A and B are shown apart, each in its own frame.
Chain A
């Protein structure tokens, strides 16, 4: 589903990703952990075709990036810690706008369906700027799944959420995984990663330093596994 070979990204002379290799198969949930500045967001932005790689090969569902980025963009849904929503439009108007941009079929029905799914149907006419952070994040997920993507990319989706919103997001993420999406999520939260993901990769200094499947590790061992992986790339 996602294949990345020898990915490099430099900003000027500063290398951020240094020959990164990564794979995620269909229906897999991969959590990418790593310290600040490891290159997690850069990696996700390249997968989302928002940033051009310096070198390397990337394929999503068989389509190469950036050569067929337009096709790839119709297959992916992206959630970041920024809402990517217009505060002066209502929830319904935001979804209608993005639906038109994605040329979603039977848009009215789909917008209703998504608003019900994220629990915002009753407040669909309210302006987004009047929403709490948790409600905005729910709508952000609604925007990301509106066009029925097969791959979901989450960049630190828990940032700034209160406890209720975290529980709500956990539920939505479980539903997304249950529906067979391939999910890649970057996070600082080790416990949440091990709870939700089927595989955990540690990204450090622009490389995948270690990778482990959920069944091969307990939550107690995850911290030492993570620290060891980061330490090995920081001699």
Chain B
């Protein structure tokens, strides 16, 4: 690995390490995401019919709605913490390519989202009596979450510069992530209903393509989003 590439990955690692260490101390971000997610699935548990068949068809929808809304809390908080004490300027002053900051923040957000999902899934399993530990479903969860944070981190960096960031992020984010949510929902439902992999594959392919395209767009656009 060349010196430049090594410094690039070292800086990404530094941002992820910093975010995880700070979160380990404050637990502000994870606790708010987690409490929200658990409350949503608890409310759905009482609201939905007790019929096991109906419940299993609703699973993907309930879970993705929960993760999408809990995710906006995390994205907002993650960038707001940088902005409020001027730390975003501290990051922007570092002599690294600005995409380092984007990828560092996106990886941290992905870790937080996956941690919340890792806690929510067993709870959902227990409350709804639906087995979620299927490799296909878990891969879909990973690809969907990846697409969500790739777009979410970019838009949160944009929204955090405004006074109405809390309102602006969902308004910007949800129209853009509709392809992710629909594909993830369809693929998750397919795996949980036991459909053939060939029937689900087009949705997985859409997720992969979406993730790649938006990662490339974010790589190019982040510099312009954060600069005055």
Contacts and interface: CB of A to CB of B under 8 A. Distances in A.
- On whether the two chains bind one another, the answer is yes
Given A78-B93, A100-B11, A52 B85 contact: no
A105 to B, nearest CB: 12
B7 interface: yes
Interface string A77-117: 01010111111110001000110111100000000000000
Contacts of B89: 50, 78, 80, 82, 84
A22 B94 CA distance: 24
A34 B97 CA distance: 34
B contact residues, range: 20 to 34
B18 interface: yes
A98 B96 CA distance: 11
Contact of B26 (A70, A88, A98): A88
Given A70-B96, A89-B22, A100 B10 contact: yes
A71 interface: yes
A97 B17 contact: yes
Contacts of A82: 85-86, 89
A89 B18 contact: yes
- Name B's interface SS: helix
Interface residues of A, number: 30
A50 B87 CA distance: 12
Contact of A88 (B17, B25, B94): B25
A64 to B, nearest CB: 15
Nearest to A83: B85
B127 interface: no
Given A45-B228, A70-B97, A93-B21, A100 B85 contact: no
Contacts of B7: 103
Nearest to B26: A88
Nearest to B14: A100
Contact of A71 (B90, B95, B97, B227): B95
A138 interface: no
B22 A88 contact: yes
A74 B92 CA distance: 12
Nearest to A101: B94
B213 to A, nearest CB: 26
A94 to B, nearest CB: 9
Contact of B14 (A48, A83, A97): A97
Nearest to A93: B21
Interface string B8-48: 00110111011001110110000000000000000000000
A193 to B, nearest CB: 23
A25 interface: no
B91 interface: yes
A74 B14 CA distance: 17
Contacts of A86: 18, 22, 85, 87
Contacts of B94: 73, 98, 101-102
Contact of B85 (A45, A85, A101): A85
A84 B86 contact: yes
A141 to B, nearest CB: 13
A50 B85 contact: no
Nearest to A84: B90
Given A52-B228, A88-B26, 4 more contacts: A80-B86, A86-B87, A101-B96, A127-B25
8 contacts: A48-B93, A51-B227, A52-B228, A87-B85, A88-B23, A97-B14, A102-B95, A127-B25
